[in-house]
Amino acid sequence: MTAVQLEVASEGGGTVISLAGPLTATALAPVWTRAVDAARRAGDGLAIDVSGAELIDTSGAALLLALERDHSGRIEWRGLGEKPAQLMARLRLAVPEGVTAKVPARTVARTSVWRTFLIRVTFFGQTILATASLPGKLRFLRGGNFFRLVERAGTQAMPLVGMMGFLIGMILAFQSAIPMRQFGADIYVAALVSLSLFRELGPLLGAVILAGRTGSAFAAELGTMVVNEEVAALTTMGIDAETMLVIPRMAAAMVVMPALALGVDIAGVLGMGLVMMILGFPPSAILNQIQMATGPYDLLLGLFKAVVFGAAIGLIGCRAGLTAGGGPRAVGEAATSAVVGGIVVTILLDGLFAVIFYRLGL
Amino acid sequence: MSAACAPAIVVDHAGQSFGGRVIFEDVSFTVATGEVFVVLGGSGCGKSTLLKQMIGLLTPTKGRITVGGYDVVERVALVRREIGVMFQSGALFGSMTLLENVMLPLVMFTDLPARARAEIARIKLAMVGLAEAVNLLPSEISGGMAKRAAIARALALDPPILFLDEPSAGLDPITGAGLDRLILDLRATLDCTFVVVTHELQSIFAIADRCVMLDREARGMIALGVPRDLQQSSTHPTVRAFFNRDAP
């Protein structure tokens, strides 16, 4: 295909813009800006000559309309055939003026933040109501579904939990042993790491894994159901989506979360024990230190926190999914929102627990 | 439409099977330049499969198809420069506004400045009646608007041949009729060749110059011609049943 030629010439005090060649989308790039600039600069008496144009498609017509719009005065058309003239006439009718304005970003952001807050509060309230009215809606719960959720969120996550806990235990032990050895206190690494794991790191790491694996999966699954109008179908059938979809997931997350935390605890202690043995401490000394530094209540406090974290992550994952918008992007956004929200809320709750336990002397 | 025009599409004894399952075989027809040609038939007869063959998404297991003079198997890249496709669902990209959706082919295949791309995309959307919706996301528009936007995107590079898969499926009669009018309007304005896959009778009678009918039982084509002629003179029971909305 030949290239488009543009010529701008003066003629009798006016300007002539001549366009030749194929005026099509793939050929117009070299001349578009120059042609529009020439039309804008031209005074009265602009003529546009397209007698050399081999073809004028809608992109070519778009250029001619842009020249017409950007030139303030009258235009004399030369060599414009009947078909291109009809096309331009049709496009002039179709294209309204001033439709390019967008909603100001500030308004969008303010509306979005307020709306998001309302959605979250409403969802939290709906879930509380659904939980309160559960005894009358037990038929909406499906036992098989609950156990499948537990398997996916808990059993299938255990290898990952074990590996992460083991590595974290090893890393903590190595990192602590170096400064503590300077004071001859490296035997206390066992107490330090085990206490950290039982009270903080076990539930926290378990929660991060649950948010990343399960919270995002809940959001993606429910978000897809929303996009495919499956949730709307449930609602129109009179089935409460909160009861059927949210409560089993939240319950599954609450059930598996202590197991995940315990998994991190055990694997972390094993990792720490391995490092301590490499450093020359016998297993009996390590066990003795763990027993002296920690008690059952440390483990139980950690497991209690894990249950609360599980409920929060399950709830946030379901909320993100069920409040997803339309289109495939909504599912991705819901999954991201579930992971970020789950981790942030877990850390906030952990901080709250730290204050409460401190005030209670636990 | 001139009978002397070179055919835009030639389907020559095309067949498709998956494993041992034959979908259709021995399908042959030509589509003239500037024609609105409809592929019709009942559910499961292979309409969409034939469409996928013509747009180069599926390699025919038998026969040969040329589109715009190019073999769809050997010269698929060239074929794709000649065609625009509207998928049944619209297949708009959810993360882009309608304007960005229509601009995408212009971004990919031209060196036009950004302002020119936006100008052209805006005009394409205006042509399909979506001038006011340029900044909306696909999730914010109706099914009929999505199909119109998909047509605008298919038109982005002014291809000479347009394939539309079930353009009026799932739409109300008024919106469906609006789309039919749009197709005729675009044909008149742009001289495009249209291949439309549909089983909507009203649509077929409104837009089709000619049609080919596929049948699941026959595993191939059972009729080729002008819809009104087929309705009045075909002796094939399935063809008569289809055009008269009757059980065979």
Shared domain for A124 and A214, answered yes or no, is yes
Average pLDDT across chain B, whole number:
87
Give B164-186 pLDDT, tens digit per residue.
988 887 777 887 788 888 888 88
More confidently predicted of A329 and B230 = B230
Does B229 score more than 50 pLDDT? yes
Shared domain for A226 and A341, answered yes or no, is yes
Is residue A100 domain-resident? no
| Domains along the sequence of chain B with CATH | 7-243 (3.40.50.300)
More confidently predicted of B60 and A144 = B60
CB-CB neighbours of A39 under 10 Å? 24
User: Are A327 and B138 an interchain contact pair (Cβ–Cβ within 8 Å)?
Assistant: yes
Determine which helix (DSSP H) or strand (DSSP E) holds A300, and give its type and residue range. helix A296-322
CA distance B154 to B105: 9
Shared domain for A218 and A110, answered yes or no, is yes
Q: Residue with structure tokens 């409920």?
A: A311
Is residue A206 exposed (0-12), middle (13-18) or buried (19+ Cβ within 10 Å)?
buried
The answer to whether residue B59 neighbours chain A at the CB level (below 8 Å) is: no
Is residue A77 domain-resident? yes
Shared domain for A46 and A146, answered yes or no, is no
Shared domain for A199 and A87, answered yes or no, is no
Q: Which of A36, A60, A94 is the last residue of a domain?
A: A94
- The A-side interface with B (CB below 8 A) comprises 24-26, 28-30, 32-33, 57-59, 61-63, 65-66, 83, 86-87, 90-91, 94-96, 99-100, 102-103, 325-330
In this complex, which of B106, B109, B158 lies closest to A57 when CB atoms are compared?
B158
Q: Which of A34, A62, A94 is the last residue of a domain?
A: A94
Which pair of structure tokens corresponds to residue B77?
Answer: 């890249």
The total of structural domains in chain A comes to 2
Residue A314, min C-alpha distance to chain B (Å): 27
The answer to whether residue B187 neighbours chain A at the CB level (below 8 Å) is: no
What mean pLDDT is predicted for residues B192-210? 90
Which structural domain, as residue segments, surrounds residue A45? 5-94
- Nearest chain A residue to B92 by CA distance is A327
- Nearest chain B residue to A99 by CA distance is B132
Q: Which of A43, A70, A94 is the last residue of a domain?
A: A94
Give B105-155 pLDDT, tens digit per residue.
888 788 899 989 999 999 989 888 888 899 998 888 988 889 889 999 998
User: Are B116 and A30 an interchain contact pair (Cβ–Cβ within 8 Å)?
Assistant: no
The predicted structure's pLDDT at residue A258: 95
Does B2 score more than 50 pLDDT? no
User: Are A94 and B126 an interchain contact pair (Cβ–Cβ within 8 Å)?
Assistant: yes
| Average pLDDT of adjacent 10-residue blocks, chain A of 362 residues | 83 88 89 90 86 88 88 86 86 68 42 74 82 74 80 92 95 91 88 92 94 94 82 72 86 94 95 93 91 89 95 93 76 90 94 92 81
The predicted structure's pLDDT at residue A234: 73
In this complex, which of A33, A65, A96 lies closest to B131 when CB atoms are compared?
A96
The predicted structure's pLDDT at residue A157: 92
Instruction: Identify the CA nearest to A231 among candidates A312, A109, A331.
Output: A331
Shared domain for A18 and A166, answered yes or no, is no
User: Are B123 and A95 an interchain contact pair (Cβ–Cβ within 8 Å)?
Assistant: yes
CA distance A120 to A133: 20
